[in-house]
């Protein structure tokens, strides 16, 4: 009865509908009875029902040692008065039995005026959005987590690849090798990928983990880089990793086959370093190129500064912008017009002289006025 | 030059060293009853000059420091309710004066700047349903600071057009600066005496009307203004001007040229008189195109080009 109810629940779309003051929300869980470390997709939909307010939401799961979770998608539609949010999470239960998923939901209410105010001002006058925070209590969602078959090390659909660079080496020489586990499921992290052997020294790095989660689950590529060394020939026993695939509900084994290594013994005396000051493998003259590059930069800077000085000295004296125009002017009216347009106050006397010449018919000649002006302009330079 | 004008200038020179252009522009404004906008960096004696002028003329003067929170009622006045008598009385604002110094006019928002529109044009103030005619002379002298860009409200074109002249105040020469420094440090600026009164001013204004302007000069003025509106017609670059000068510009150029001729001691207006005032009259009335602004062209350069191109009579 429990089984049939459980499988029925697996197929059925379960949602929790609850009405709070301003919005409705519903949970969707694709599997309420997963195995340990089997991916469960949880979705939360929030729809604003009170359209008088402007609402924002903050949602997340509470951390727990009983499950691991990751947000894989968030859909935000509708603005201001018609907020719609859909949060999608991938959850991996980590223990068998009842596992309660706890949530944190925060509602932020504000008004159109507050939003307008927050957008007003400029980059030097940034205004924060004033909102009323309120924490919303959401009932926990319970998963009935099934235990894994005994001896299971990984959960998912994986394949194993391995690569040994050599099977022959000298005594104490490192033999590098790499094991890669790739596939879909809970990240295939193993504490010990090799069984411990006597007389072998194992060097290992932190595994390189590449995991990408989506609503379809988690794609993983985990690389274990290691090296072995020994003083005599040895064999690595076959390593079987038990895997359970919850989708097909089947067990299978990933195998790292037996490996035999031939080690060439060497005299212990040859391992001892006898030279106190060994000659460098190659001479390093990079300091010389550094020195020359700095020297060239210094000389270039010095010459530029000198050139600037020479340029200043050899610069021809600029003539007054009006000089040529004054020279070109043919009669008193033309010259008066030119002076009227440009800085009249500096040429008050000349303007008066020209006015007298044009309108009062004074005896001063245009030529003498022009020459006096040219001299005046030259002195201005 | 008229003796009264010389007296006035001498009196002003007690309080202000240098800045002859600004002083002359203010006197032109007084003679023509035109409002003056003075633009310059702080500390160039803009406010001191205006205060000295009001003292020398024995006229009432008031100063309004424009700030972002200033209200129109602070300037023009308001109707105040008297709860004892259940009636409204009018409290007159700072604008009821002869010389109004609007200090840093571009610091107040548009609604306050607009409060000056009616009074500047009509010389009349309406509070509630009552209109008051202002006593002549009435002159607004506004100052603005060109440096600051934050927290200022540029004057709208309609407001700018009501100013007869816009004067750019520059720094003094080294000799003038030396004199200012010595006098300022010793606080030895002499006090300004009243040398002219309202009647004298009215007489001077009447004398202006006797200044002769030839038809050819009048036509030349109109051509200058038209060239700002239709530059192509005069073979000028039309890309630099978005809007040319308004008809108020023609009137103000006419009045200012006549006043300038009077100040120079002439009884007729010559093209040189126009040349002396044309930049001040037109620089705030020409709206530059985006291209001109991008090229860094100023309205003064455009005016110079127009004067250089149009032949004088």
- CATH number, domain of B100, equals 3.40.50.300
The answer to whether residues B299 and B191 belong to one domain is no
A254 within some domain: yes
Looking at the structure, do residues A9 and A120 belong to the same domain, yes or no?
A: yes
Which residues, 6 or more positions from A221, have their beta carbon under 8 angstroms from its beta carbon?
A180, A181, A182, A209, A210, A211
Domain that holds residue A180: 156-271
- pLDDT for A17 equals 39
**Higher per-residue pLDDT: B236 or A317:** B236
Q: In Å, how far is B264's CA from the nearest CA of chain A?
A: 10
- Two tokens at B96? 């009821």
Q: Which of A25, A339, A71 is nearest to A215 (CA)?
A: A71
Check if the beta carbon of residue B162 is closer than 8 Å to that of residue B117. Answer: yes
**Do residues A374 and A257 both lie within one domain?**
no
pLDDT in tens, A7-63: 434 333 333 434 446 899 999 999 999 999 999 999 999 999 988 888 888 999 999
State residue A121's pLDDT score. 65
Task: Give the C-alpha separation, A101 to A92, whole Å.
Answer: 11
At residue A317 the predicted structure's pLDDT band, cuts being 50, 70 and 90, is low
Q: Write down which residue in A145, A178, A201 finishes a domain.
A: A145
Among all residues of chain B, which has the CA nearest to that of A333? B312
Same-domain pairing of A12 and A141: yes
Whether residues B149 and B214 fall in one domain? no
Domain final position from B179, B199, B219: B199
State how far the Cα of B55 lies from the Cα of A23, in Å rounded to an integer: 72
Q: Which residues contact A76 (CB under 8 A, 6 or more apart)?
A: A84, A85
Per the domain annotation, does A286 fall within a domain?
no
Q: Does the pLDDT value for residue A369 go beyond 50? A: yes
Task: Identify the CATH number of the domain in which residue A133 sits.
Answer: 2.60.40.1230
Q: What is the CA radius of gyration of chain B?
A: 20
Question: How many domains are contained in chain A?
Answer: 3
Question: DSSP for B282-299?
Answer: HTTTPEEPHHHHHHT--H
Same domain, B184 and B244: no
Please classify residue A177 by burial: count the beta carbons closer than 10 Å to its beta carbon, then call 0-12 exposed, 13-18 middle and 19+ buried. buried
Per-residue confidence band for A245, with pLDDT thresholds at 50, 70 and 90: very high
Tell me: do B61 and B14 sit in the same domain: yes
DSSP state of B45: S
Least confident of A70-74, B3-7, B240-244: B3-7
Dist CA A55 CA A46 (whole Å): 11
| Best residue in B68, B151, B257, B270 for a mutation probing chain A (most A CBs within 10 Å) | B270
Q: State residue A74 phi and psi, 5-degree precision.
A: -145, 130
Closest B-chain CA to A340 = B275
C-alpha to C-alpha distances, A195 to A172, A200, A235, B166, nearest whole angstrom: 20, 11, 11, 93
Reported pTM: 0.55
Please answer whether residues A299 and A293 qualify as being in contact, where contact means their C-beta atoms are separated by less than 8 angstroms: no
B168 touches chain A (CB under 8 A): no
State residue B254's pLDDT score. Answer: 93
Q: Find residue A64's DSSP bridge partners.
A: A67
Nearest chain A CA: its distance from B273 CA (Å)? 9
Cα separation values, A97 from A70, A90, A142, A148, Å: 21, 19, 10, 11
By Cβ distance, the residue of B21, B278, B312 closest to A336 is B312
Task: Read off the pLDDT band of B122 (50, 70, 90).
Answer: confident
Q: Do A338 and B305 touch (CB under 8 A)?
A: no
In chain B, the N- to C-terminal Cα span, in Å, equals 25
Give pLDDT, residue A4. 45
The answer to whether residue B260 sits within a structural domain is yes
Task: Work out the angle at residue A250's Cα, subtended by the Cα atoms of residues A66 and A40, and round it to the nearest 5 degrees.
Answer: 35
Residue B204 lies in a domain: no
**Residue-level pLDDT at A140:** 92
Nearest to B241 by CA among B155, B310, B301: B301
C-alpha–C-alpha distance, residues B74 and B100, integer Å: 13
Q: CA of B3 to nearest chain A CA: how many angstroms apart?
A: 21
Taking residues A267-288, report their average pLDDT.
82
Give the end of a domain, one of A145, A167, A197: A145
- Comparing C-alpha atoms, which of B312, B133, B301 is closest to residue B223? B312
Separation between Cα atoms, residue A117 and residue A95, nearest integer Å:
50
Claim to verify: residue A185 and residue A129 sit in the same structural domain: no
Tell me the three-class secondary structure of A322-372, residue by residue.
CHHHHHHCCCHHHHHHHHHHCCHHHHHHHHHHHHHHHHCCCCCCHHHHHHH
Query: Looking at residue A18, what is its pLDDT?
Result: 41
Does any domain span residue B221? Answer: yes
Preceding peptide of B221 cis, ω within 30° = no
> Rounded distance, CA B215 to CA A255, Å?
112
CA dihedral B145, B147, B148, B153 (to 10 degrees): 50
- Residue B301, C-beta contacts closer than 8 angstroms, at least 6 positions apart: none
Average pLDDT over residues B227-236: 87
Q: Is residue A277 one of the residues assigned to a domain? A: no
- Axis-axis angle for helices A332-341, A366-380 (nearest 10): 30
Q: Are residues B177 and B280 in the same domain?
A: no
Beta-bridge partners for A250: A245
pLDDT at residue A91, rounded to an integer: 95
Closest to B57 measured CA to CA, from B120, B111, B9 = B9
**Interchain proximity B312–A337, CB inside 8 Å:** yes
In this structure, is residue A200 part of a structural domain? yes
* Chain B residues touching residue A341 (CB < 8 angstroms): 275, 303-305, 307-308
* Mean pLDDT estimate for chain A: 85
pLDDT at residue A174 greater than cutoff 60: yes
Q: Are residues A86 and A105 in the same domain?
A: yes
Residues A110, A233, single domain; the answer is no
A51 and A132 share one domain: yes
Residues B166 and B124 in one domain: yes
Over 90: is that where the pLDDT of A302 sits?
yes
Query: How many angstroms away from the CA of B62 is the closest CA of chain A?
Result: 32
The CATH number given to whatever domain includes residue A214 is: 2.60.40
CA distance A18 to A217: 28
Tens-place pLDDT, residues A326-352: 888 888 888 888 888 887 777 888 888
Q: Is A18 exposed, middle or buried (0-12, 13-18, 19+ CB in 10 A)?
A: middle
In a domain, A252, yes or no: yes
Would you say residue A31 lies in a domain? yes
DSSP string of A19-37, one letter each residue: E-SSEEEEEEES-SSPBTT
In a shared domain, residues A207 and A187: yes
User: A61: which residues sit within 8 A by CB, 6+ positions away?
Assistant: A69, A89, A91, A101, A102, A103, A104
Question: In this structure, what CATH number is given to the domain that contains residue B250?
Answer: 1.10.8.80
pLDDT of residue A6: 46
| Whether A228 and A188 share a structural domain | yes
Residue B84 in this model has a pLDDT that exceeds 70: yes
Does A221 fall in a domain?
yes
- Of A45-59, A126-140, A260-274, B181-195, least confident by mean pLDDT is B181-195
Q: Are residues B129 and B250 in the same domain?
A: no
The answer to whether residues A117 and A198 belong to one domain is no
The residues of A whose Cβ lies within 8 A of any Cβ of B are 333, 336-342, 344-345, 351-352, 354-355, 359
CA distance B75 to chain A (A): 28
Check CB contact under 8 Å for B274 and A340: yes
The residue behind tokens 């209590």 is: A137
- pLDDT attached to residue A222: 94
pLDDT in the model for residue B158? 81
* B205 within a domain of the structure (yes/no): no
Residue of higher predicted confidence among A381 and A301: A301
Per-residue pLDDT of A95-119, as tens digits, reads: 999 999 999 999 989 888 888 787 7
Strand (E) or helix (H) holding A63: none
Task: Mark yes or no for CB contact B270/A359 under 8 Å.
Answer: yes
Q: Left, alpha or beta for A156 (phi > 0: left; psi -120 to 50: alpha)?
A: left
Q: What is the reported pLDDT for B147?
A: 67
* Domain extent for B272: 210-309
B151 touches chain A (CB under 8 A): no
Contacts of B21 in chain A (CB under 8 A): 345
Q: Are residues B189 and B220 in the same domain?
A: no
pLDDT for A212 equals: 93
Domain edge (last residue) among B146, B168, B199: B199
**For B151-167, how does the pLDDT look when each residue is reduced to its tens digit (9 = 90+)?**
778 888 888 888 999 98
Tell me the two tokens of residue A373.
């002006």
Q: Is B213 on the interface with A (CB under 8 A)?
A: no
Alpha-helical runs (H) found in chain A? 2-11, 112-119, 286-314, 323-328, 332-341, 348-359, 366-380
CA dihedral A353, A354, A355, A357 (to 10 degrees): 90
Q: Distance between CA B43 and CA A168 in Å, rounded?
A: 91
pLDDT at position A123 over 80: no
Give a yes or no: residue A91 inside a domain: yes
B238 in the same domain as B178: no
For residue B255, tell me if it sits in a domain. yes
Question: What is the pLDDT of chain B when averaged over all its residues?
Answer: 85
B141 neighbors B26 (Cβ within 8 angstroms): yes
pLDDT at A124: 66
- Residue B75: inside a domain: yes
Question: In Å, what is the CA distance from A287 to each residue of A283, A291, A294, A297, B265?
Answer: 11, 6, 11, 15, 82
- Chain B: closest CA distance from residue A126 (Å): 15
Q: Are A24 and A82 contained in the same domain?
A: yes
Select the more confidently predicted residue: A211 or A364. Answer: A211
Tell whether B275 lies on the interface with A, counting CB pairs under 8 A. Answer: yes
Q: How many domains does chain B have?
A: 2
A177 in the same domain as A247: yes
Distance CA B275, CA B220 (A): 11
Q: Which residues of chain B make contact with A328, given a CB cutoff of 8 A?
A: none
Q: Do the beta carbons of residue A96 and residue A121 sit within 8 Å? A: no
Q: Domain check: are B22 and B68 in the same one? A: yes
Whether B296 shows a pLDDT value over 70: the answer reads yes
Tell me the DSSP string of B68-128.
Answer: TT--HHHHHEEEEEETTTTEEEEEE-TTSSSEEEEETGGGS-HHHHHHHHHHHHHSEEEET
* Residue B53: pLDDT over 80: yes
Query: Out of A248-262, A291-305, A310-324, B32-46, which region has the weakest mean confidence (pLDDT)?
Result: A310-324
Residue A191 has pLDDT above 80, yes or no: yes
Considering only CB atoms, which chain B residues are within 8 Å of A360? none
Do A242 and A190 form a contact (C-beta atoms < 8 A)?
A: no
pLDDT, one tens digit per residue, over B264-281 is 888 889 888 998 999 999
pLDDT of residue A246: 93
Q: Give the mutation candidate from A123, A330, A340 for the B interface (greatest B CB count, under 10 A).
A: A340
In a domain, B126, yes or no: yes
B31 is a domain residue: yes
**B231 touches A at CB < 8 Å:** no
Q: What is the pLDDT of residue A63?
A: 94
Residues B119 and B243 in one domain: no
Query: Are both B58 and B187 inside the same structural domain?
Result: yes
A38 in Cβ contact with A49 (< 8 Å): no
């Amino acid at each position: 009865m429990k089984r049939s109810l459980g499988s029925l629940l697996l197929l059925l779309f379960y949602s929790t509908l609850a009405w709070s003051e301003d919005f409705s929300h519903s949970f969707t869980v694709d599997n309420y009875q997963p195995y340990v470390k089997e991916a469960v997709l949880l979705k939360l939909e929030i729809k604003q029902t009170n359209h008088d307010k402007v609402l924002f939401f903050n949602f997340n799961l509470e951390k727990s040692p009983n499950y691991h979770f990751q947000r894989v998608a968030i859909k935000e539609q509708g603005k201001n008065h018609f907020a719609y949010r859909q949060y999608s999470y991938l959850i991996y239960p980590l223990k068998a039995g009842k596992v309660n998923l706890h949530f944190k939901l925060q509602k932020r209410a504000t008004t159109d005026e507050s939003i307008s105010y927050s957008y007003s001002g400029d980059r030097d006058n940034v205004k924060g959005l004033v909102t009323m925070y309120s924490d919303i209590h959401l009932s926990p969602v319970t998963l009935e987590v099934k235990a894994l078959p005994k001896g299971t090390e990984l959960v998912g659909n994986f394949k194993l690849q391995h690569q040994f660079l050599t099977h022959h080496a000298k005594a104490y020489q490192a033999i590098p090798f790499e094991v890669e586990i790739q596939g879909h499921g809970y990240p295939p992290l193993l504490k010990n990928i090799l069984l411990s052997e006597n007389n072998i020294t194992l060097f290992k790095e932190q595994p390189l983990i590449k995991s990408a989660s989506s609503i379809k689950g988690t794609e993983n590529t985990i690389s274990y880089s290691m090296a072995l060394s020994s003083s005599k020939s040895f064999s690595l026993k076959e390593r079987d990793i038990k895997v359970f695939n919850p989708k097909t509900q089947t067990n299978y084994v990933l195998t790292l086959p037996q490996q035999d290594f031939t080690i060439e013994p060497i005299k212990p005396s040859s391992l001892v370093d006898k030279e106190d000051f060994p000659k460098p493998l190659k001479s390093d003259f990079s300091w010389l190129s550094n020195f020359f590059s700095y020297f060239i930069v210094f000389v270039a800077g010095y010459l530029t500064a000198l050139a600037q000085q020479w340029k200043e000295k050899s610069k021809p004296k600029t003539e007054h912008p009006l000089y040529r125009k004054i020279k070109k002017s043919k009669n008193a009216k033309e010259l008066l017009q030119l002076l009227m347009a440009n800085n009249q106050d500096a040429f008050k006397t000349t303007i008066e002289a020209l006015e007298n010449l044009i309108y009062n018919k004074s005896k001063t000649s245009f030529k003498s006025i022009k020459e006096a002006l040219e001299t005046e302009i030259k002195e201005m330079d | 030059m008229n003796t009264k004008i010389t007296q006035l200038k001498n009196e002003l020179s007690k309080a202000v060293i240098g800045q002859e252009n600004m002083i002359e522009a203010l006197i032109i404004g007084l003679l023509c009853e035109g409002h003056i906008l003075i633009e310059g960096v702080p500390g160039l004696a803009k406010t001191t000059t205006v205060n000295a002028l009001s003292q020398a003329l024995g006229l009432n003067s008031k100063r309004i420091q424009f700030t972002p929170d200033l209200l129109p009622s602070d300037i023009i006045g308001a109707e105040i309710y008297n709860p004892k008598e259940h009636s409204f009385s009018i409290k007159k604002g700072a604008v009821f004066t002869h010389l109004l110094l609007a200090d840093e006019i571009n610091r107040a928002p548009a609604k306050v700047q607009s409060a000056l529109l009616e009074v500047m044009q009509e010389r009349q103030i309406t509070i509630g349903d009552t209109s008051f005619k202002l006593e002549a002379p009435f002159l607004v002298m506004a100052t603005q600071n060109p440096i600051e860009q934050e927290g200022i409200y540029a004057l709208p074109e309609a407001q700018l057009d009501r100013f007869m002249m816009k004067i750019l105040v520059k720094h003094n020469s080294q000799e003038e600066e030396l004199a200012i420094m010595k006098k300022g440090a010793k606080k030895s600026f002499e006090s300004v005496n009243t040398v002219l009164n309202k009647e004298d001013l009215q007489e001077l204004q009447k004398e202006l009307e006797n200044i002769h302007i030839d038809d050819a000069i009048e036509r030349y003025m109109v051509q200058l203004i038209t060239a700002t509106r239709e530059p192509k017609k005069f073979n000028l670059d039309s890309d630099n001007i978005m809007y040319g000068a308004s008809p108020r510009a023609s009137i103000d150029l006419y009045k200012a040229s006549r006043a300038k001729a009077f100040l120079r001691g002439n009884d007729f207006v010559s093209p040189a008189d126009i040349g002396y005032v044309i930049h001040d009259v037109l620089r705030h009335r020409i709206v530059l195109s985006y291209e001109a602004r991008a090229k860094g062209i100023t309205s003064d350069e455009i005016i110079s080009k127009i004067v250089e191109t149009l032949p004088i009579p």
